[in-house]
Chain A
Amino acid sequence: MSTATDPAVGFETELVERHGRLRVDRVHLPLRGDEDVVGLRKQVRERAVAIGLSLVDQTKLITAASELARNTLKYGGGGEAYLDKLADGLRQGVGIVFIDAGPGIPDVDMALRDGYTTGGGLGLGLGGSKRLVDEFDIDTRPGEGTAIAVVKWKR
């Protein structure tokens, strides 16, 4: 794993790129173990509260973040999370990008289906997370890794 270089550079999904334009602040959170997921949840909560997301939207975003961070650990062998504060005109949002240098997801459509799992989980992580956020974008490359970007906007 090349953690020394910024792995975000290697991925250029539309959403990651748009993130870059709307980003006003970024925090880098390494994902190496269980405790890092708890730390990420706390940081996401703080961001979500700071921009005034409703309690339900906070909970949805944190839950999605928790699922995706666990995927990064479990399937990607660890990786990086970037927690962004986004501003699009007057609209504010929280964006998170998850990047790993794992094996990639062979069939994304299949992986997004509920109940599909290769890791013995419930198979709700990817599809479920997508339902919990406003924007969801995934770029996965066999043998290179996976990047997933999500955004929750303040209503």
Chain B
Amino acid sequence: MERIPILRMGDLLLVTIQVDMHDRLAMTLQDDLTERIVRDNAKGVLIDISALDLVDSFIGRMISNTAAMARVLDARTVVVGMQPAVAITLVELGLTLHGVKTALNVEKGMALLGKNLN
């Protein structure tokens, strides 16, 4: 089955979404991430969406849910690299990504997670 790879770096999990996800793939990623947080004892999750040219309500909900589940499991989530056109569209659509921390790029996202972990 098609899956989005999750990399582990210390106590962080890194995900780079590089394909246009259909809904089941997005759900699988959400489940996989939640499982890996527990299995790898991760403290932070960094999701890079710089290659995504669309975040609709389904993907937005997947991101919000993942962040909420991570929080319950004592891990922080940062979403990085959102394209400006995607941000404009998200807001107009009415999606606020409630409770999700964001950063402009991977470096800033890592810094944000590092700060939260100390």
| B-binding residues in A (CB < 8 A) | 34-35, 37-38, 41-42, 45, 55-56, 58-60, 62-63, 66-67, 70, 114, 121-122, 124-125, 127-129, 131-132
Contact = CB atoms under 8 A, between A and B. Distances in A.
A38 B20 contact: yes
Given A66-B56, A67-B57, A132 B85 contact: no
Contacts of A127: 94
Determine chain B's interface SS by DSSP, over half rule: helix
Determine chain A's interface SS by DSSP, over half rule: helix
Contacts of B54: 41, 59, 62-63, 66
A70 B25 CA distance: 14
B22 A56 contact: no
Residue in B85, B88, B95 with the greatest tally of chain A CB atoms within 10 Å: B85
B24 interface: yes
A132 B22 CA distance: 21
A67 B56 contact: yes
A66 B24 CA distance: 14
Contacts of A45: 53
Given A127-B94, A131-B93, A34 B22 contact: yes
B20 A56 contact: no
A29 to B, nearest CB: 15
Interface string B77-117: 00000011110110011110000000000000000000000
Contacts of A66: 54, 56, 58
B95 A34 contact: no
A124 B93 contact: yes
A62 B52 CA distance: 12
